[in-house]
């Protein structure tokens, strides 16, 4: 997630090589992947903030992390609500947590 590494990947991809040298407008991190990888969201945000103004954490299967201290700083909805500046939005599809509730989502927002 280092800026130099991201620029190399942008330059190497046939889909994005014409954008090499430009600042990415949007970063997406799939957090808590199917194989169990859980990024330190705080570190990922700090690194990606150097290259992108918008960071999206896809945490479809990870809505429980806020409620267990073992995952401290490893999810987007971390920290105290009063410590954040500006709007922050989180979406956890309920169908990923409870299979009986297919096609349902929770939308969490910090004003």
Domain coordinates of the chain in residue numbers? 3-17+25-110
Indicate the pLDDT class of residue 64, thresholds 50, 70 and 90.
Answer: confident
- How far is residue 62 from each of residues 2, 25, 55, 58, measured CA to CA in Å? 24, 25, 17, 9
Residues 7 and 65: their CA atoms lie apart, in Å, by: 31
CB of 108 within 8 A of CB of 89? yes
Taking residues 68-88, what's their average pLDDT?
Answer: 80
The pLDDT of residue 86 is above 70: no
- As a whole number, the mean pLDDT across the chain is 81
Q: Model-level pTM?
A: 0.71
Please report the pLDDT score of residue 68 as a whole number: 87
Q: Which residues pair with 11 in a beta bridge?
A: none
DSSP string, 44-93: HHHHHTTT-S-EEEE-TT-TTGGG-GGGTTSSTT-S-GGG--S-EEEEEE
What is the C-alpha to C-alpha distance for residues 31 and 65, in angstroms, rounded to an integer? 11
Two structure tokens written together for 86: 């500006």
């Amino acid at each position: 997630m280092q800026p130099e590494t991201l620029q190399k990947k942008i330059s190497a991809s046939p889909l994005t090589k014409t954008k090499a040298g430009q600042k990415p407008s949007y970063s997406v991190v799939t957090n808590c992947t199917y194989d169990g990888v859980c990024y330190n969201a705080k570190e990922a945000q700090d690194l990606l903030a150097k290259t992108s103004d918008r960071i999206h954490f896809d945490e479809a299967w990870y809505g429980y992390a806020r409620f267990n201290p073992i995952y401290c700083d490893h999810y987007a909805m971390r920290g105290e609500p009063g410590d954040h500046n500006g709007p922050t939005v989180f979406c956890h599809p309920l169908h990923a947590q409870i299979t009986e509730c297919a096609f349902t989502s929770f939308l969490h927002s910090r004003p």
